[in-house]
Amino acid sequence: MSHLKIQWMNSGRYLGLAYVAEGKIKLDKRILCSFKIFDEVLKHEIAHHIQWKRNGNRFLTKNGRRILHGKDFAAVCKEMGIPARTRIPIHQATA
Ligand SMILES: [Zn+2]
């Protein structure tokens, strides 16, 4: 995953976003409030890239909708030692 490019953003809505096709991650500077939050959000986004890669450069779908936080995602999170949650307790933002 060393090919990943990381950019800062001021989303207001998301703490992190994974652009899998572009090999890019965007992070909101709010995650710099603590190392623990920074560490979890960065690994969460890397986990999306790993999940995408493992599924053959795609996300699993159900009824035509992408499943971003399913069992495959949870498995990667477990390997990375982070909770497989989508809400990280900082201003109730989603990731
Ligand atoms: Zn996510």
pLDDT number for residue 92: 47
> Ligand 1 centre from 87 Cα, in Å?
9
DSSP string, 37-54: HHHHHHHHHHHHHHHHHH
Average pLDDT along the chain: 92
pLDDT at 75 exceeding the cut of 70:
yes
- Where residue 39 falls among pLDDT bands split at 50, 70, 90? very high
How many helices (H) does the chain have, and how many strands (E)?
Answer: 2, 5
Once rounded to an integer, what is the mean pLDDT over residues 64-76?
Answer: 97
Q: Which residues contact 53 (CB under 8 A, 6 or more apart)?
A: none
> Ligand 1 centre from 13 Cα, in Å?
13
- Where residue 94 falls among pLDDT bands split at 50, 70, 90? low
Q: Which CATH number fits domain 5-93: 3.40.640.10, 1.10.3720.10, 3.40.50.2000, 3.30.2010.10?
A: 3.30.2010.10
Once rounded to an integer, what is the mean pLDDT over residues 7-27?
Answer: 94
What is the distance between the alpha carbons of residues 10 and 81, in angstroms, rounded to a whole number?
A: 27
> Ligand 1 centre from 86 Cα, in Å?
6
Q: State pTM to two decimals.
A: 0.90
